[in-house]
Amino acid sequence: MLLTLLYSCTGGAAVLYALYRWIIPFIVQYHAGLALIWHDKFVEGMLDMLTRSTRPQRLLAAVQKNATRGDPRSVVRAIDQFCRHKEWAMNVGDEKGCILDSVVSEANPTYVLELGTYCGYSTVRIASLLSPNSKLITVEFNPEYAKIARQVIAWAGLQDKINLVEGASGDLIPKMQEMFGVKTFDLVFLDHWKDRYLPDTKLMEKCGLLRKGSILLADNVICPGTPDYLEYIRNSPQYESQYFKSHLEYTKVEDGLEKSVFLG
């Protein structure tokens, strides 16, 4: 009886582990809603409770364990490895990250604004491609995310190229010229709250932070989606837009980046 019970428990545990580790992740990677619920609600909540740590803290630990200090690309690889094989996180990711790299390299910007730092993944990708005289200003609303991002950025050795400011984008955008002496941005990467893409774009226009040729690059325009932003940016005579089809970070769900050049 006892042996039978033991076998049953062991078998049940094996099934649950298989469901958690392989079967459910395989299924949800093709469904946007299920993927976000599974990774952002169930898995994150469970691991937070079991480890008494947060996902950003676990991501930082993976960087400190696996990345070479002072090597930005090894930091990016360590985060990608963590997110693909350990725990999903809402970075732009490796697939869309290559598109981001291409846009940054082609634009060769002097002044870059990033809205939504999270843990600093895209911040490191962008800053590692900038010329020595360039500057990246990145805005993060969540102080806990900002705390982790600063450590990730320092581990990559890029702290001298980056100004991380905490606060709401709507409050900080009008202060950019005063705080940093920046007249206009050559490139803006939007990856914060999706309902802020459109109002923050209009705010940057109003504040004169966009010049003719300035590039807006917006992440997650399909998943979770930014329909109001896309409708505006694609129909405005002030912009010339191009959609780069890809996938939601570390899944097979369709997503993409929208590149929009400000025509003045």
Residues known to be catalytic: 191, 194, 219-220, 249
Q: Count Cα neighbours of 96 within 13 Å in the Cβ-side half-sphere.
A: 32
Helices (H), 120-172: 121-127, 143-156, 169-172
Question: For residue 192, what are the contacts with CB-CB under 8 A and spacing of at least 6?
Answer: 115, 116, 139, 141, 169, 200
Instruction: For residues 202 and 224, give the distance between their C-alpha atoms in angstroms, rounded to a whole number.
Output: 21
Coil, helix or strand at residue 133: coil
Instruction: For residues 225 and 172, give the distance between their C-alpha atoms in angstroms, rounded to a whole number.
Output: 24
Single-letter amino acid, residue 9: C
Residue 85, token pair as written in the block: 């094989």
Coil, helix or strand at residue 258: strand
Burial of residue 166 (CB within 10 Å: 0-12, 13-18, 19+) is middle
